[in-house]
Structure 1
Amino acid sequence: MSQYKIEAGTGQHIGDRQEQQDRVALFAAPHAPGYMMAVVADGMGGKSGGALAAEQVVRTSKQLFDEFYPGNNVQALLENILNEAHTVIKLTAVSSEKEPHSTFVALVLTPQHEAIWAHAGDSRLYRFTGPNFGEKTRDHSYVEKLVDEGKILPEEAKTHKLSNILVNVLGSTNATPYITFGKHKNLKVGDSFLLCTDGLWHYFDDAELSAAVAANTPRQASELLIRKARDRGNPRGDNCTFAIVKLINQPTEVKTYTVQKIRSAI
């Protein structure tokens, strides 16, 4: 099985909003070497409310990933994160008289060269193979439902007047959130992932995102994507937040020593 090194980074911009309500984080599992997690949350709910909801998603993700051990079920971990974060966000709504909500998308890479992800809402995960688009999550949104029913075309969804209406979020007092899982096995050098809020994906097509990620380091890609999103979204750009995870070749070991003949001790 091929060996690879994980190269990852995050990017974030407030856009033209007054407050940054998105959150993003990368974690290693202290009790499970070789496992890593990326998580992105897009908060909603008025001033500070959305930020509190998204922060709770990230905080819960770290807390439960810190308790993860090899042999534990990754899908169960992701579902527990969603359920616990949802419960706490609802309690926050009661105590603060706000109506906070959040989306959720998370990715876990395992030492068995497997990627497992889950999402709720319209924050997305993209998977790429080199410069080629592989797949992406399907939004839990009203317009995606219209697409599924054949009432609008996929290209109409982005500009539909109800494109911001979600049918599945954490923190809702009217419905229990559901989770959608994805999986990809036999990871190899050249595979990459992008997790992002709608403040990023709204301004790009699949090919643009795959090319930007493939041709650059995570930091370079972050700078490029934020700049383009700002150009295209100005003056009504949303919060823009994302994580990039790339699998690259292991660095070649460079010899930093010299071997000398050992003199006889006798």
Structure 2
Amino acid sequence: MKVVILAGGLGTRISEESQVRPKPMIEIGEFPILWHIMKIYSHYGFNDFVICLGYKAHMIKEFFADYYLHMSDVTFDFRNDNQMVIHQNVAEPWRVTLVDTGLSTLTGGRLARVKKHINNETFMLTYGDGVSDIDIPRLLDHHRTHKKTVTLTAVQPGGRFGVLNLDNAGTDVIGFAEKSVEEGGWINGGFMVMEPEVFDYLDGDFTVLEKEPMENLSANGALCAYKHYGFWHCMDTLRDKLVLENYWSSKSAPWKIWDENRKSGINV
């Protein structure tokens, strides 16, 4: 199953960093947040990525072009036709398709531009700035059980985001609110599962996925929510980056689910 990651925005709210690099390339520890997101999916065996590029796309392309070499032990033999020998590598089992979806294209438009890479199959979609300890297989089971066109992950980050209105069962999304009016409001945290029918709701580069497409999906009873009660944090501002950096440097990053020693309390 393919995982689509939206990684083309300008990142204006974290301009201290994004003026020199695209937001998904801002580092937490020694790796970009995009890498952290991909590691979450890869932990569960989802290794086929389609990344929607835009702002400073070349930097993301260069990261992946050099990744294998950077993660390898290597000998350069300049005496022998500049021969390069790879001794050992710890690169990932990833297949990464990088698609330039335009500098000014909005979220729904970026998704529409990668339709040909989806192969008319169920796929996953998330944003290139949010990490979580979400159980992806449980999310996928929830999607298959409820048989909706789109399942989004609902999280409770606090009061600075717009909120979702959920039905009494807490699964179907029946509307949206512009601002959180009380503590505990549920928001769309990304980590979505989608059927190819979602492309019927997209209309051109200036489609905002979170507006008319989601609203129309909701109105048609085709949108449901998977409630995640664990850790979720997006890197929206410099303050958010510092929070995530602190988790990482203290060896207590909740999203580092690929670390076998994480739950044992061993610091690595």
Please indicate, yes or no, whether the TM-score normalized by the shorter chain is above 0.5.
no
- Max Rg structure: 1
Q: Which has the higher contact order (CA 8 A, sep 6+)?
A: 1
